[in-house]
Amino acid sequence: MTMFDSFETVTFEGTNSENPLAFHHYDAKKEVMGKTLEEHLRFAVAYWHTFAWEGGDPFGGSTFQRDWYPQDNMENAYKKADAAFDFFRVLDVPYFCWHDLDLRPDQGNFAGNLSTLDQITDYVGEKMAQSKTKLLWGTANMFSDRRWMSGASTNPDPDVFAFAAATVKSCMDATHKLGGENYVLWGGREGYETLLNTDLNQELDHMGRFLNMVVDYKHKIGFKGAILVEPKPQEPSKHQYDYDAATCIGFLRKYGLENEVKLNLEQGHAILAGHSFEHEIATATAEGMLGSIDMNRNDYQSGWDTDQFPNNTPEVALCYYHILKSGGFTTGGTNFDAKVRRQSLTAEDLIAAHVGGMDICARGFEAAAAMLEDGGLEEALSERYAGWDTPEAKEMLGSDLASITARVLSEDIRPAPRSGRQEILENYVNRFV
């Protein structure tokens, strides 16, 4: 018995259906640009928000009271896994993601953590064998326990670095064992509270060295998935080193990892960094470094990482536009790093939240595909940069300031400003969303 077993598997019923637990837009088997929506979008459920988060906030504790609480013992960890796989059945979702700590409680020492992770991932592996749901990515929670309060790989204490190395190794092994398609590192506490007690340079060097060890280990065990880092500017640390996509790309280059590590980008983190999600995605795709996405949304007024389910088609459409334009996901997918609000207590709330998120993504994705097939934005782009197709323009990039100056004088070059046509392009996008 789980809280989800009275629910049938959610099916596509189309936009005329009034059933709140049906897909109105996400038709998993529908073909768009040569692949089904299921194959394009590669949806994943986040174990932490959907099963491990108890509905607490800074002013109050658990509101959800699931029957696998308290989450401090292995018996309830197994119960939670039963519920999770029943939930995956209801959603018919192709993927899920976890942190080690979502699957089983911390044992307070590494040997205990290792053996309980082994036990629970054996169990999860058996569940996966009976289910269609696969592992999109695994990761280590190196931010909740107090041992991580001053960072993991960037901790001033080498013992914490060692504990972090052992923890990541165990989580990579577990991800590999379960056939995971990526391994993610999000550095929630890889940053600082105050520069008064922080040696920035040393911490960044340690983080670069650590990530190199992760990549070496990936090759050693023959893990074929991608290693991904997840940018976020702040929260829980006041400042996080992996601030945004551009910062991460610079970091990866500095430590020689640009061909080994890609990015897992999250909508809410983009907003916290003062960007739009499509800015982050376009920055990564421009460098061929987009790995996967954590789809959610922030409350635009609160300034926190509120991890709500997406519900804005135009925003989502532009994100998938850049993903599709770059060729779509390979190892990555759309993970709902999103949670229901703490008053949303029921099984129905949890299911409906995911159904709505999947529908919004499908709508946005189809709009993106239609825009790309129409080609209007690409045409406008090539027209805007057409001047650079001329031989003189190309030659200039290989020349120097003095010769360019001579040409400006001899040809009496006087630039004629041209419209950027922003509103016309915005109107164009609005025809599709």
**Contact positions toward Ni ion, by CB under 5 A?**
266, 294, 305, 337
For residues 332 and 140, give the distance between their C-alpha atoms in angstroms, rounded to a whole number. 18
Do 231 and 247 touch, CB atoms closer than 8 A? yes
Of the two residues 121 and 335, which places its CB atom closer to Ni ion in the complex? 335
Is 99 marked active-site?
Answer: yes
Contacts to ligand XLS from residues 285-304, by CB under 6 A? 294
CA dihedral 86, 91, 95, 101 (to 10 degrees): -50
Contact partner at residue 139 from Ni ion, ligand XLS, none, CB < 5 to 8 Å by partner kind: ligand XLS
129 in Cβ contact with 121 (< 8 Å):
no
Cα first-last separation, the chain: 41
In terms of Cα–Cα distance, which of 261, 277, 81, 77 is closest to 183? 261
- Cα distance between residue 320 and residue 137, in whole Å: 20
Among 95, 163, 183, 186, binds ligand XLS (CB under 6 A): 186
Cβ(18)–Cβ(310) below 8 Å = no
Residue 5 annotated in active site: no
Q: Please pick, from the candidates 190, 337, 359, 366, the single residue that binds ligand XLS as defined by CB under 6 A.
A: 337
Q: Which option in ligand XLS, Ni ion, none does residue 262 bind, with CB closer than 5 to 8 A by kind?
A: none
Nearer of residues 244 and 337 to Ni ion, judged by Cβ: 337
Candidates 25, 99, 176, 275; catalytic one: 99
Q: Which does 359 bind (CB under 5 to 8 A by kind): Ni ion, ligand XLS, none?
A: none
Give SS3 for 136. strand
Judged by beta carbon distances under 5 to 8 A according to partner kind, the member of ligand XLS, Ni ion, none in contact with residue 134 is: none
Closest to ligand XLS by CB, 32 or 142: 142
Site for ligand XLS in 54-113 (CB under 6 A): 99
- The angle at the Cα of 21, spanning 17 to 27, to the nearest 5 degrees, equals 65
Q: Which is nearer to ligand XLS, 32 or 289 (CB)?
A: 289
3-class secondary-structure state, position 231:
coil
Q: Which is nearer to ligand XLS, 133 or 264 (CB)?
A: 264
* Preceding omega of 70 cis (within 30 degrees of 0): yes
Q: What is the chain's Cα-based Rg?
A: 24
Counting residues that bind ligand XLS (by CB under 6 A) gives: 10
Determine which one of 100, 102, 305, 307 is catalytic.
Answer: 102
Q: Is 256 left (phi over 0), alpha (psi -120 to 50) or beta?
A: left
- Residues in contact with ligand XLS, shown as a per-residue x/- string from 218 to 237 under the rule CB under 6 A: ------------x-x-----
Q: Which residues are catalytic?
A: 99, 102
Q: Where on the chain is the footprint of ligand XLS (CB under 6 A)?
A: 99, 139, 184, 186, 230, 232, 266, 294, 305, 337
